[in-house]
Amino acid sequence: MTDTTPSDAGGAPRAPRRRRRLLRWILGGLAAIVVLLIGGILIYTQVGVMGAEAEPLAAAEANPGLTISSDGTGIVLSPASGATGQGLVFIPGAKVEAEGYIATFVDTVVDDGITVVITRPWLNLAFFDPRPLSTFTELAPGVSSWAVGGHSLGGVRACQLASDADALVLFASYCANDLSASGLPVLSLSGSEDGLSTPQKIADAKGELPANATFVEIPGASHASFGAYGPQPGDGTPTADPAEVDRVIADELAGFLPRP
Predicted confidence (pLDDT) per residue in 38-70, tens digit = 555 545 445 579 999 999 999 999 999 999 999
Residues 124, 92: Cα–Cα separation, whole Å: 8
Proportion of the chain above pLDDT 70, given as a percent: 87
Q: What is the pLDDT of residue 47?
A: 58
Backbone angles phi, psi at 108, to 5 degrees: -60, -45
Average pLDDT of the chain?
91
Kindly state the greatest CA–CA separation across the chain: 96
Q: What is the pLDDT of residue 45?
A: 47
**Cβ-count burial 213-250 (b if 16+ within 10 Å, e if not):** beeeebebbbbbbbbbbeebeebbebebebeebbebbb
Express each pLDDT in 246-256 by its tens digit. 999 999 999 99
CA 129 vs. chain centroid, Å, equals 9
Burial label for 105, CB within 10 Å (0-12, 13-18, 19+), is buried
- Contact status, residue 158 vs residue 176, Cβ threshold 8 Å: no
Pairing of strands 214-218, 145-151: unpaired
Confidence at 158, pLDDT banded by 50, 70, 90: very high
- State yes or no: pLDDT of 12 exceeds 80: no
Does the pLDDT of residue 1 top 50, yes or no? no
Summarize pLDDT for 183-234 with one digit per residue, the tens. Answer: 999 999 999 999 999 999 999 999 999 999 999 999 999 999 999 999 999 9
Q: Determine the pLDDT at residue 178.
A: 98
8 Å CB contact between 98 and 227: no
